[in-house]
Amino acid sequence: MPDLRTLLTATRGRGRFDWTDWFTYGYLLLGIVLMLAPVLWLVLSSFKTAAALNEFPPRLLPYGPKSVTVPGRSDPAPVFRVKLPDGTTQELAELRRIGIQATMVDPAHPSDEVRVNIRDREPVREFRLATENYTELFGQFQFGRFLWNSVFITVVATLITLLFNAMAAFALSKYRFRGRKVAFLVILATLMIPPTIVLVPNFFVASSLGLLNSPWGVIWPAVATPTGVFLLRQYMLTLPDELIDAARMDHASEWRIFWRIVLPLSAPALAVLAIFSVMWRWNDFLWPLVVLSKTEDFTLQLALNAFQGELTTQWHFLLAMTVLTLLPVTIVFAFLQGYITTGIASSGVK
């Protein structure tokens, strides 16, 4: 008769639950904590008030001062745990305070006022999300401006990327012109030239084209991605040439063939490239840092960098802003995880 341990740890198909299984689940558990906990900690912290963020050691969940509405008063009154002269403690709401004397009242009996020394009381705190970190962002820090800059650059750059890369991919997959192979190789070769090594001359090119301190200075250099051309060309090669020949019979112009036939049929590959491009542009840092030097032109990434470097960092705003910056990417990932991972696995580029 098998003993209980073998029965419990038996796995389907294979024999015993050996050390590799223990290792696997231990590793996964550690991995999930290490990968997700930092992000969760950021999100939890972003809901704490400035005062709560200054506490050390920090609490896990966001807490704020508890307050109640006392009948007959318009403002909510803060609640304190008060040690009464007879030795008992009670939660009372503060009506007013003069010096070290506070006038407190039990919200259930608003007429019985009690005077206490403020040393005999401490504030009561309750679980409360400091959503004002988020709502006040839009008023402070020109946050809306940075958001708009980021969205504008991301959307426009992605649209141009899709158009330019699809045009190039169309030509490289459906025409047999002289120099086609050379053009393809030249485009692919740029994969090996990282932008970090042409930083100085690119700054000059951008400056002579009048692109400094303009979102177009971030957009134009980024739109001719070799990855995109490669991805789209491979896909377009699988589209049957007969479709194009048939359209030519009907006297469709080459542009019309591209716009009306090839582009719609390439939608799956375009979708993958669109996701990539959105991620790339949203997360861009070094080149925007070089091109955009005025605060009002900053993208969210640049604004985050600028504010974290200030002498007195306002962490409650900074954390909320960080969460809002990672939110779009997180949402895209949650819904399109399959697209992203297969796209990366097949092209080897992120």
Among 68, 95, 155, 167, binds another protein (CB under 8 A): 167
Residue with tokens 């008992």: 88
Task: Give, in order, the Cα–Cα distances in Å from 331 to each of 59, 324, 337.
Answer: 28, 11, 10
Write out the H or E segment, with its range, that includes residue 346.
Answer: helix 315-347
Among 67, 202, 214, 234, binds another protein (CB under 8 A): 202
Interface with another protein in residues 219-248 (CB under 8 A): 220-221, 223-224, 229, 248
Among 68, 151, 159, 183, binds another protein (CB under 8 A): 183
Q: What whole-number distance in Å separates Cα of residue 97 and Cα of residue 112?
A: 16
168 belongs to the binding site for another protein (CB under 8 A): yes
How near is the Cβ of 26 to another protein at its closest, in Å?
10
Among 118, 216, 289, 339, binds another protein (CB under 8 A): 289
251 belongs to the binding site for another protein (CB under 8 A): no
Handedness of CA 40, 41, 44, 47 (dihedral sign): negative
236 neighbors 169 (Cβ within 8 angstroms):
yes
16 belongs to the binding site for another protein (CB under 8 A): no
Name which of 80 and 280 has its Cβ closer to another protein.
280
Q: What whole-number distance in Å separates Cα of residue 190 and Cα of residue 225?
A: 9
Among 4, 7, 8, 20, binds another protein (CB under 8 A): 20
264 belongs to the binding site for another protein (CB under 8 A): no
Among 179, 240, 264, 268, binds another protein (CB under 8 A): 179
Among 2, 72, 99, 194, binds another protein (CB under 8 A): 194
Among 22, 138, 175, 335, binds another protein (CB under 8 A): 175
HEC sequence for 154-222: HHHHHHHHHHHHHHHHHHHHHCCCCCHHHHHHHHHHHHHCCHHHHHHHHHHHHHHCCCCCCHHHHHHHH
Q: How many CA atoms within 13 Å lie on the side-chain side of 305?
A: 15
335 belongs to the binding site for another protein (CB under 8 A): no
Torsion angles phi and psi, residue 318, rounded to 5: -60, -45
Name which of 103 and 202 has its Cβ closer to another protein.
202
